[in-house]
Amino acid sequence: MTTPELQNKAINTLRFLSADAVQKANSGHPGLPMGAAAMAFTIWTRHLRHSPRNPKWMGRDRFILSGGHGSALLYSLLHLSGYDLSLEQLQNFRQWGSLTPGHPEYGLTPGVEVTTGPLGQGFANGVGMAIAAAHLAAVFNKPGHELIDPFIYAIVTDGDLMEGGAAEAASLAGHLSLGKLIYLYDDNNISIDGSTDLAFTEDRAKRFEAYGWHIQRVDDGNDVDAIDSAIKAAKADPRPSLILCKTVIGFGSPNRQGTQKAHGEPLGDDELNAAKENLGWEKEPRFLIPEDVLAFYRQAVDRGRELEADWKMRREAYSRLFPDLGAEFNRRVLMNKLPADWEASLPTFPADAKGMATRAASGKVINAIAAKLPELIGGSADLAPSNNTKIEGVPAFQKESPAGRNFHFGVREHAMGSILNGMAVFGGVIPYGATFLVFADYMRAAIRLAALSHYPAIFIFTHDSVGLGEDGPTHQPVEHLTSLRLIPNLVVIRPADANETAQAWKVAISRRDGPTALAFTRQNVPTLDVGHASGLSRGAYVLKDFGDPEIILMASGSEVSLALEAAQKLAEEGKGVRVVSFPSWELFEKQDEAYRESVLPKNIQKRLAVEAGSSLGWERYASSVIGIERFGASAPAKVIFEKLGFTVENVVAKAKAL
């Protein structure tokens, strides 16, 4: 049982642990923790089902601090609730090697569900989690046996609500009626420039109503009972819920509360002391945690164990009643393990000079492996017929058909990226999402976060060069392959033909500790002999040697067959030429020195790279590059390739000039 006094102390503990951490680091954001402490308290002590000693317990609810700058609040909650995050870590806030970085990082800190900080991302990640949960519930739950039934709680901020990516996600969440979403809006009227009156005067409640959300208001964001009632009502409503809580940024700080001065800098010792005095808190010691407060929060540990035990019992009962589903649940959701024989379903394609577009091959691969991999789900940002992402014979994921596996993200690339991240981190599904490669720019922030956070999302990018033709330079990627390769921990693969496409999917599906970007052509490319394609997993491999090589032609994607043709011509003229198919820099860099030397021997320095994109970076492997250093043009693909030098003649000439 809690008393009003203990409750108040417990909330102030959150405020001042956070403010003390910021003060000690001399860096950080005290305003959100102090203003939103009561909201967090209400969620964490009255609603959140979690198990601090087993942060990954699958039956838990999820909590997202979308305003990741308030990280000290989250770390305080984690420490107090009994997660494996010591007080020392809080005291090392924002220091090298600590588990308490400036913004929460998934994978680093136990209990952090997603990486947040870049605004809007956490908001949209939650939508992805709710989608994954709804899907898994539809697949696995049975009446009376609800193994997957989480609420997704978030604290969202003015910044989140201003971000377009979050707006896209909110619209989709309303469309899908994701009733498990319960977002508390820290409505404090302050952003960094000052009052939200400066730039953000829209009627937020009405906007979210227009999206189809359930709206409630809490006039005093420190009123725990009011917040509690609103959360209860939100749980009962079938729509996603936004609870607008009027708060005071930096609550308690006598000279800064309610102003942007409270947002992003330490209060300073004097103001921190004044705030403590103001709220009846001991000034010293810093990082004070009253014993009764700690004991109160730490109840979460036992409560969590009980929740877990209960869930385990229910899961065992489920497995007895539904042994096949139980085994599948075990494999897919609990162990995140691929079926042993899934790779056997990967198709191969006979050699064929006419060939097919790699996007078409990708569509065939998806459909070939979909039956073996029920966890494979995904779709497109309203380009499904162009991206070839549809799984045939299964319904769309919709409000009425949450077991559906085909996703209609709408023309919402940014939200799609963030939603894929949320789906991937939830587990039990392998999500993919597609758009044209040029529109990777719209979702780049989400791709980066996937890489930083090791989310195993699969990003499909079709129409991967000027070879898309007539749509012109607004739709033709040029710099995009290289700009994706620049993102650390993102694996980018641009397969040369249908058989490499199957191998690219094999890599992407197998890669469970980070994101993969797949680049596919719009236009047909010849299908090469399948025997070679397994080399793709090593990033680059010798596709063919013509004689004793004195020249290496290396290429990726649609330019591989061009390089082959050119090599044939050069061979006819008596040159020794090696053709290297080079679908992935990142995979090649992971190979050992001996392998890399075997593909690109130091003694062959005449090396020409051919790729219909920026040449930057190919210098690492080649002595000369045929690339594109300009925007594309609107014309049939064949014409563009000719005009930009992607012809057999030009490759031959450039190779001879080496």
CA atoms of 295 and 335, how far apart (whole Å): 33
Which two three-digit tokens encode residue 486?
């620049």
Nearest of 137, 225, 118 to residue 180 by alpha carbon: 137
Site for a copy of itself in 169-198 (CB under 8 A): 171-172, 174-175, 191-194, 198
95, 299, 330, 348: residue in contact with a copy of itself (rule CB under 8 A)? 95
Cβ proximity to a copy of itself, 226 vs 492, nearer residue: 492
Q: CB-wise, 121 or 257, nearer to a copy of itself?
A: 121
Among 203, 324, 341, 548, contact with a copy of itself (rule: CB under 8 A): 203
Residues 300-329 that bind a copy of itself (CB under 8 A): none
Pattern 481-510, binding to a copy of itself, x per CB under 8 A? Answer: -xx-xxxxx---------------------
- Restricted to residues 238-277, the positions that interact with a copy of itself (CB under 8 A) are 260
* Residue 558: C-alpha distances to residues 9, 356, 572, 632 (Å): 65, 11, 23, 16
The one segment of 41-49, 515-523, 603-611, 634-642 that binds a copy of itself by CB under 8 A: 634-642
Q: 421 to 460, contacts with a copy of itself by CB under 8 A?
A: 438-439, 441-442, 444-445, 448-449, 451-452
Q: Smallest distance from the beta carbon of 368 to a copy of itself, in angstroms?
A: 22
68 interacts with a copy of itself by CB under 8 A? yes
Active site residues: 413
Q: Which of 473, 595, 624, 654 binds a copy of itself (CB under 8 A)?
A: 473
Q: Which is nearer to a copy of itself, 11 or 167 (CB)?
A: 167
Letter string b/e over residues 446-476, b meaning 16 or more CB atoms within 10 A of that residue's CB: bbbbbbbbbbbbbbbbbbbbbbbbeeeeebb
CA atoms within 13 A on the CB side of 190: 21
What residues numbered 104-133 form the site for a copy of itself, per CB under 8 A?
105, 115-119
66 near a copy of itself (CB under 8 A)? no
Those residues whose C-beta lies under 8 Å from the C-beta of residue 280, and which sit 6 or more positions away, are 12
Of 251-259, 343-351, 597-605, 612-620, the window that binds a copy of itself (rule: CB under 8 A) is 612-620
Tell me the C-alpha distance between 587 and 580, whole Å.
14
| Binding of a copy of itself by 469 (CB under 8 A) | yes
Are the CB atoms for 555 and 602 separated by under 8 Å? no
Q: Please state, in angstroms and rounded to a whole number, the distance separating the CA atoms of residues 356 and 648.
A: 20
| Site residues (CB under 8 A) for a copy of itself, limited to 636-655 | 636, 639-640, 643
Phi-psi group of 247: left, alpha or beta (phi > 0 → left; psi -120 to 50 → alpha; rest → beta):
beta
Q: Does residue 38 touch a copy of itself according to CB under 8 A?
A: no
Of residues 133-172, which lie at the interface with a copy of itself (CB under 8 A)? 158-159, 162-168, 171-172
596: number of Cβ within 10 Å: 18
Q: What are phi and psi of 201, to 5 degrees?
A: -115, 5
Question: Could you tell me which stretch among 43-51, 98-106, 281-289, 574-582 binds a copy of itself (CB under 8 A)?
Answer: 98-106
Distance between start and end Cα atoms, the chain: 81
Q: Which of 210, 309, 371, 653 binds a copy of itself (CB under 8 A)?
A: 210
Length reported for the chain: 658
Per DSSP (E only), the strands in 368-515 are 376-380, 406-408, 430-436, 458-462, 491-493
The nearer residue to a copy of itself, 81 or 191, going by C-beta atoms, is 191
Place of tokens 């090392």: 92
Binding mask 379-418 for a copy of itself (x = CB under 8 A): -x-xxxxx---------x-x---------xxxxx-xx---
